[in-house]
Structure 1
């Protein structure tokens, strides 16, 4: 691995850094989303063959749950967790053989250009101050034709449409890093921006990727009585709780 400079990106403000270094802030998302995304990546990469293992970076790996879920489906490939939170990395190293410190802003990721075959980018995009620079850096470390597996909450999830009609703040959206105001839920998770299916497709394509497919996944925080509806909505990604996008570096 070697460090290659990337376009300068302002680091998150000190308040955001403190927020994400807080051990009480959730750094893992639902297992159903992780498993669906892992299956998409396994189909894209295929089995490790004569060409040797492929390098997969889990950027923003959090506590390593998503990468650990993917690992049994990616046998023979090299899976590396990346995060800038020391607390998250400490937890990730209990699940992953490789977990290194790196960030999408500032000096860039500690990987050479074109050195990765795939990037897992799970539930990170919605937390970023500068998502444009983040995708530029991901595109740099991916080889031509490399895979991007991105997941993010859906602003236009089926229940958010109903909440907005009722004048209620949508799930996933936040107005404060200190407490919940005006929306369902009990956890402050630090979302700065949200995407619809259409916006996500357009944004990723404009960043130099070719969108292969967009699928839906359920949200683990949906009340149990509504979970059958949430699973049903996955059949129409524009209504699903979570957006799962597979793109390739152009």
Structure 2
């Protein structure tokens, strides 16, 4: 797999952690799903195949990634209809039908409009439908450490041009557009107030850095992890 594509999705390198969450809903007979920020669509299709989904709506603003998705990924998906939509998923989203599952992996932190996003999610999702959402944790052990030392958390950028105030190990990183992130506790409360029942939460970490992953496993609570993932059900 192309390295740019592989590392475009943090979650794509952490599917071993995502699998127990998917197992939890594997018997729910989910046939239609919506992925917000689908990117290249590789993870989207993998989840759909695992769950037996027959139709996917994939939303993304990046036309280059959607082009790759339509020219390569969709053609390899067996018996799955993929509808690719190029738009900002914080804007009103009108689908011709309700979906049973909404996913978003590493995308919510790229928008300020969470209330609007969740209106889209609730309007698109059937009653009793599920969401799976992951994002960086503002209160991760890494961010707590750098804040203690007086640095800006890497996961929250103040400019679209360059990184400011981050710790030395992050100085070489590029801007990725993380404009809004939440602590585990804050996002938990936000989901509940938005009309969702929390089914499962997990810490999320990739296999890319063995030393950092050792610390992630040592500090394995979602409230301390670098990223977390929520499975929740619409009431």
TM-score normalised according to structure 1 size: 0.78
Unaligned runs of 5+ in 1: 1-22
2:229 counterpart of 1:244 = yes
**Alignment partner, residue 95 of structure 1:** 73
**Is residue 217–residue 243 contact of structure 1 (8 Å, CA) maintained in 2?**
yes
Cross-structure match for 1:117: 100
Which of 8, 31, 56 lines up with 2:12 in the alignment? 31
State the 1:110 CA deviation: 3.5
Give the 3 Å change call, closer, same or farther, for CA 64–231 of structure 1 in structure 2. Answer: farther
Tell me what 1:179 maps to.
162
Q: Is the 8 A contact 1:179 1:188 kept in 2?
A: yes
Q: Does 1:170 align with 2:142?
A: no
Aligned to 1:210: 197
Shift of 1:78: 3.0
| Residue in structure 2 matched with residue 5 of structure 1 by the alignment | none
Contact 2:11 2:106 survives alignment (8 Å) = no
> TM-score, normalized by length of structure 2?
0.82
The runs of 5 or more residues in structure 2 that have no matched partner are: none
Per-residue displacement from partner, 1:142-165 (whole Å, max 9, x unpaired)? 000000001010011112111111
Select between 89-98 and 236-245 the one with higher mean Cα deviation: 89-98
Cα gap change, 1:27 to 1:38, in 2 (>3 Å) = same
Give the match's secondary structure for 2:203.
strand
Tell me if structure 2 keeps the 8 A contact 1:28–1:65: no
RMSD: 2.4
Counterparts of 1:55 and 1:38 in 2: how far apart (Å)? Answer: 19
Which residue of the partner structure matches residue 18 of structure 1?
A: none
